[in-house]
Amino acid sequence: MAEKEEKGKPEEKAFNPDDRFRYLGFEIKPGKIGDLFKSEAEKESWIQKVIDKRKRKVRIREHNTLEEPRVAGYERIVLTITSAVLVVSLFLPWFSGYHERVVDSEVAGQQNEPAAVVSDSLTEGVMADSLSRALTESETIPGEETTEPTEIAGAVAPATAAARENGATVLEKDEAGFASITSHRRQKEVVRERLSLSAIGAIGSLGAVGGMVFSSGLVVTLTGILMIIYVLCCIGLAVYTLYMLYGIKGDEDTKALKLKLVLRLSWIPVAIYVFCIIIAFFGATYSFDTTDMIKQIGGSYGISTYLGLLSSGFYLTIACFIINGAKSIEI
């Protein structure tokens, strides 16, 4: 059996020293390679470079990635800018919304040009008719009674004002005896007032609104606490990053590894933002009346409230934290 197995095996070929060139990348030149150097002078120059390198005890080759700095110069500039923006953004609008209020405005209608002189009797008749309609439509004051007749001439101005107030048509007469008919109407206009609040302003107003926030539902209370931590992260991580860039001493690798640990902390504020979005889906009720507050607060807390209140200053900090966190992965 052993003899049959040996017969089935292929015969091993003898090793050919020339085959080693095929494994060293010399397939582009079939056969044996020629001289590596063009001349003896070039050969001596390369040998001298190797000797000098050994004298300097250089163990790695030139122009390799191991000699490149972990944090390049332009990356230091970017990290410096993001740290500065984190501090400046505290004074930008973090929360914004609008407050609606209804305003009554008077709109004058088209005034007809007088075509002829209207007689005094016709004018007084129209005035009397307008006065009677205005007094009928206007509200009466309880407790007062009028027993004496009122003259039309003395009541023209109050009647005109009452007619304008109720949106009626008014007949006006000038000094020359010409009369014109003018219509007046009142309409309600909704005015939106934009309001904004910075992070510093929000921290300063904790004494006024903190009680309302922390006495509401669990989601609102937890979101308020996390937003305070977020603001502190903007200040602390910005200062700590600048210190790691320019304050510590040591070799480049040591400083880069310490900077890496600090930049990793930038993912904490990003996680706070995402976590607040998740818990906002559960919603919460307020412990205060929101009737006269901004529209974004709504009747109850939810995801639309959270995202609707956040403004440009907050999202600017999110971008800075993501840039810093991404750099921690590269180091």
Most confident of 146-150, 201-205, 259-263: 259-263
Q: Residue 12: helix, strand or coil by DSSP? A: coil
| Tokens read off for 234 | 């903007």
Give 206's strand partners: none
Burial class (CB in 10 A: 0-12, 13-18, 19+), 156: buried
Contact predicate 168/130, CB 8 Å: yes
Burial class (CB in 10 A: 0-12, 13-18, 19+), 121: exposed
Domain boundaries of the chain, sorted by first residue: 15-64, 69-99+194-330, 101-142+149-192
User: In the structure, what pLDDT confidence band is assigned to residue 242 with cuts at 50, 70 and 90?
Assistant: very high
What does the alpha-carbon distance between residue 171 and residue 110 come to, in Å, rounded to a whole number? 13
Q: What is the pLDDT of residue 150?
A: 42
What does the alpha-carbon distance between residue 211 and residue 207 come to, in Å, rounded to a whole number? 7
Q: Is the model's pLDDT at 324 over the cut of 80?
A: yes
| Tokens read off for 187 | 């309409």
User: In the structure, what pLDDT confidence band is assigned to residue 330 with cuts at 50, 70 and 90?
Assistant: confident
User: How much is the CA Rg of the chain, to the nearest whole Å?
Assistant: 44
Percent of the chain whose predicted confidence (pLDDT) is above 70 = 63
Burial class (CB in 10 A: 0-12, 13-18, 19+), 306: buried
Q: Is the model's pLDDT at 31 over the cut of 60?
A: no
Most confident of 19-28, 103-112, 263-272: 263-272
C-alpha neighbours within 13 Å on the C-beta side of residue 105: 10
What does the alpha-carbon distance between residue 313 and residue 4 come to, in Å, rounded to a whole number? 84
Most confident of 37-51, 134-148, 266-280: 266-280
pLDDT in tens, 262-284: 999 999 999 999 999 999 999 88
Q: Tell me the whole-structure pTM to 2 decimals.
A: 0.60
